[in-house]
Amino acid sequence: MNGLMQQRQLLISDLIEHAANNHGDREIVSNLGNGHIHRYTWSGALGRSKRVANLIHALGVATGQCVATLAWNTHRHLELYYGVSGTGAVMATVNPRLFTEQIVYILNHSGSSHVFFDVSLAKLVAEIAPQCPDIKGFIALCDADQMPDIVVPGLACYESLVTGCSEDYAWPSLDENSASSLCYTSGTTGKPKGVLYSHRSTVLHAMSTCMVDSFAISARDSVLLIVPMFHVNGWGIPYSSAMAGAKLVLPGSELSGGHVYAMLRDEACTVSCGVPTVWMSLLEYAENVDAEQRRRDIVLTRALSGGSAAPRRIIEKFEHYFGVYLCQAWGMTETSPVVTVNVPLRKHEALTLDERFDLQMLSGRPLPGTEVAIFDDEGNRLPHDGHTAGQLKVRGHWVARAYYHREDDAWDANNWFATGDLATLNADGYIRITDRSKDVIKSGGEWISSLDLESAALSHPAIDEAAVIGLRHSHWQERPLLIAVKRKGKDVTADALLDHMRNLVAKWWLPDDVVFVDSLPHTATGKLSKLPLRKQFENFRFSTDVENTRG
């Protein structure tokens, strides 16, 4: 027997309707650059999103057709999020920091008919346009007097088009399983892979990130969305903020420590989200602000961190500088992205600050609606004992079940998606990412966690950044090499650094050698990029390698 409850489809358009109807006066603030701050409300955003929806129809974009963006976090990008998906078309957000050939690949592979772009990216657009013959129009996200001087097919001005469209629009009653947006993984190895989200997965993900033991986004929050809206839908914050009726602050492309600090202060932000490198820049800036002033300026209650492991020093400084809880979350493009969030349990209330920092180093517990588990290479489940590391697999309402137009064997018959991460799980369900499987160092048949070694190196006050890679060793098969960047004005020798690390990791894990460099390479999403490092050091021979000493 079925229940007798109403059946409604879970649709993205309902989120912005809810925000406008129930939190219509809550602000959306955008930094458009050069001191230009744009302000309107959820009610204003709804009107403009409806104009965008009419524009999408006028452009002849069909249901299920992709429309791409190359854009920073602004109110216009937000309107596209709702205006495009709300019609049944698919919003493909493209990361402008990818290599040009990857951007071209994504635009062509997604079959995008139009590209909405920020004027600061006009040069890039001019370069890619000739390689994307199926794109009918390039629409510049600006006013008529700011149009870029480029020659591309169907160049048009967003503001002129949008103001010419009616605010009258009735959102179609789509099937909740319809595709809503498309994001591609960075493709550090091989071609980027497309993940096609649905209205249903997006709404459920937003709902779960609003939950208290999650991001806890509420109507009282002012949210600074630092995570780019081209990176996994900005962690779903454009949707969860509407669902909660939170104030939304969009920083544009100005993400220096000083700019982030100013936005947090000026817009009284209570929550923000970003990757560890962004937090490092903020903390470096804040270091030079008077301690009492800092506490007065920043009213943040929590900072959400993900994308890569947050070093302990970030966690500690957030507490000491601002009294703010740095909350780690784990996820990936394939998982919408949020799967685990690190919020303490009742039993953690009595922890000392130091013990709580240890807890905060974990990547969190799974949200309801998702499952996580660790497996060995034969597919057997491993124990949740907090120290056995295995392949992390996930499944749930907002986890992909396939890539867009591409075969892949990442899924098993039970729907478990192999994340490519190695992790431990403790008895309370907290995961700790120990490595990406391609980065783990296999020394004499045992695994060494490159992340743990990096974390130990980073806990030395003279180290700014650290990468550990496994390189060939004639006896051990692979051994760790530590490549580190010293902090400005600080010095440390390789031996002193290894001595410091000796207390933090197993003795046999210690890197065989340390190389100091001026900077480390990063991916388009701001993560350490180990591929170029492996190439750079492929001929490196360890001082501990007998073959080396003989040669």
Which amino acids are annotated catalytic?
185, 334, 442, 447
Cβ atoms of 381 and 374 within 8 Å: the answer is yes
Q: Please say which residue, 44 or 420, places its beta carbon nearer to ligand ADP.
A: 420
The one segment of 219-227, 327-335, 399-407, 497-505 that binds ligand ADP by CB under 6 A: 327-335
Q: Pick the binder of ligand ADP from 79, 267, 297, 421 (CB under 6 A).
A: 421
* Residue showing the smallest CB distance to ligand ADP in the complex: 332
Please report how close the Cβ of residue 308 comes to ligand ADP at its closest, in angstroms: 5
Q: Please say which residue, 178 or 525, places its beta carbon nearer to ligand ADP.
A: 525
Please report how close the Cβ of residue 70 comes to ligand ADP at its closest, in angstroms: 17
230 belongs to the binding site for ligand ADP (CB under 6 A): no
Q: Pick the binder of ligand ADP from 332, 394, 492, 528 (CB under 6 A).
A: 332
Distance CA 487, CA 180 (A): 44
Cβ atoms of 250 and 75 within 8 Å: the answer is yes
CA angle 303, 305, 307 (to 5 degrees): 160
The one segment of 43-51, 136-144, 147-155, 182-190 that binds ligand ADP by CB under 6 A: 182-190
Backbone region of residue 71 per phi and psi (left: phi > 0; alpha: psi in -120 to 50; beta: other values)? beta
Q: Please say which residue, 85 or 419, places its beta carbon nearer to ligand ADP.
A: 419
Q: Please say which residue, 108 or 188, places its beta carbon nearer to ligand ADP.
A: 188
Nearest to 121 by CA among 164, 152, 154, 92: 152
Pairing of strands 477-486, 463-473: antiparallel
Please report how close the Cβ of residue 421 comes to ligand ADP at its closest, in angstroms: 5
360 belongs to the binding site for ligand ADP (CB under 6 A): no
Cα 40–chain centre separation:
26
30 belongs to the binding site for ligand ADP (CB under 6 A): no
74 belongs to the binding site for ligand ADP (CB under 6 A): no
306 belongs to the binding site for ligand ADP (CB under 6 A): yes
Sheet holding 114-117, edge to edge: 155-157, 137-140, 114-117, 66-70, 90-93, 179-184, 194-198
For the four alpha carbons of 223, 229, 231 and 232, in that order, the dihedral sign comes to: positive
Q: Pick the binder of ligand ADP from 394, 527, 528, 533 (CB under 6 A).
A: 527
Please report how close the Cβ of residue 334 comes to ligand ADP at its closest, in angstroms: 7
Q: Which residues, including other chains, have CB under 8 Å from residue 94's CB and lie 6 or more apart?
A: 68, 69, 70, 103, 106, 107, 115, 184, 230
419 belongs to the binding site for ligand ADP (CB under 6 A): yes
Beta-carbon count within 10 A of 350 CB: 8
Cβ atoms of 252 and 31 within 8 Å: the answer is yes
**DSSP 8-state secondary structure symbol assigned to residue 522:** B
Q: Pick the binder of ligand ADP from 30, 363, 370, 443 (CB under 6 A).
A: 363
Please report how close the Cβ of residue 239 comes to ligand ADP at its closest, in angstroms: 18
Backbone region of residue 236 per phi and psi (left: phi > 0; alpha: psi in -120 to 50; beta: other values)? left
Please report how close the Cβ of residue 531 comes to ligand ADP at its closest, in angstroms: 12
The one segment of 166-174, 378-386, 417-425, 478-486 that binds ligand ADP by CB under 6 A: 417-425
Distance CA 262, CA 294 (A): 11
Nearest to 364 by CA among 440, 302, 277: 302
Kindly report the three-state secondary structure assignment for every residue of 418-441: EEEEEEEECCCCCEEEEEECCCCE
The one segment of 54-62, 215-223, 300-308, 316-324 that binds ligand ADP by CB under 6 A: 300-308
One-letter identity of residue 480? P
Q: Pick the binder of ligand ADP from 180, 308, 336, 434 (CB under 6 A).
A: 308
Which residues between 238 and 267 bind ligand ADP (CB under 6 A)?
Answer: none
Binding site residues, ligand ADP, CB under 6 A: 185-186, 188, 306-309, 328-330, 332-333, 363, 419-421, 433, 436, 525, 527
